[in-house]
Amino acid sequence: MAVTARIAELERRHQMMEREIESTLAHPGTDPLKLVELKRKKLRIKESIEKLKGGASLH
């Protein structure tokens, strides 16, 4: 159950990152480095989700 809760939390954070990226893109003059950083964080979260889902299916 702990893995399921962790996956749910990561999915929630992933959605929050998506909204933050969209919000950042909506503002002209956004620092491109900030956008890259946000996208990298989102990708790391997604990779963590996939890793946990892969590990959870093995049990």
Spatial separation of the C-alpha atoms in residues 31 and 39, rounded to whole Å: 13
13 Cβ contact list (under 8 Å, min separation 6): 45
Spatial separation of the C-alpha atoms in residues 23 and 16, rounded to whole Å: 11
DSSP class of residue 18 equals H
Average pLDDT over residues 28-39: 94
pTM equals: 0.84
Q: Is the Cβ–Cβ distance between 9 and 52 less than 8 Å?
A: no
Say yes or no to pLDDT of 50 above 70.
yes
Q: Is the Cβ–Cβ distance between 14 and 42 less than 8 Å?
A: yes
Say yes or no to pLDDT of 3 above 90.
yes
